[in-house]
Amino acid sequence: SEYRGKETNEARNQRLEKDRQRHSEYRAQESEETRSKRLEIEKQRRRRARAQESEEARNQRLEREKLRRRRTRDPESHETKNQCLEENRQHHSQTSVSAKNQRLEEDKQLQSQDSASETDEIRNQSLEEDKQIHSQACGQESDETRNECLQFCQIFVEGHLNEDFSFEDYNMQSS
């Protein structure tokens, strides 16, 4: 560590590059099974760490990742950057559309389930209220009033069934 404090940026970069090469050679030799296990362990470790990090630590991590990506892209040519951006746009638009459609479909299903149960409850409640009102009204009506209402309903229904029928015809018939 004392030596590393005195090394130049160029020497440091060369050392880091050699380390990367050695590491990538080592990784190239590992089996697919070992690789997938290692990746899964790393993924779980990152998930646990992220679950425990504070809001401030999360913001710092995101900022570091943003800077790292920016540094990686700086040496790229504009053409390469544009190509990378376009590929990302296409990837996100494809995944976004399918993910969005899936979320919308799930939302519709949940909403229809909720509204169906709500609608049934509301409908049952309304029917119950109507029954109560009707039974109260029936108890208060006389036979004469019921007959008048029944005649009016029959005329109304017949009027809708026979378009030629009008209320004037009814008045002439009843006179």
pLDDT in tens, 140-160: 666 666 677 777 777 766 666
Counting beta carbons within 10 angstroms of the beta carbon of residue 168, is it exposed (0 to 12), middle (13 to 18) or buried (19 or more)? exposed
What's the pTM value of the predicted model, to 2 decimals? 0.29
Residue 174 in this model has a pLDDT that exceeds 60: no
In this predicted structure, what is the pLDDT of residue 59?
92
CB distance 4 to 12 below 8 Å: yes
pLDDT in tens, 31-85: 999 989 999 999 999 888 888 888 898 899 899 999 988 887 776 677 777 888 8
Residue 127, classed as helix, strand or coil, is helix
In this predicted structure, what is the pLDDT of residue 162?
60
In this predicted structure, what is the pLDDT of residue 60?
92
pLDDT in tens, 111-125: 776 666 667 777 778
The stretch 77-94 carries a mean pLDDT of 79
In this predicted structure, what is the pLDDT of residue 123?
76
Q: Which residues lie below 8 Å from residue 50, measured CB to CB, with a gap of 6+? A: 58, 61
Range with top average pLDDT, 6-20, 85-99, 111-125, 138-152: 6-20
In this predicted structure, what is the pLDDT of residue 164?
60
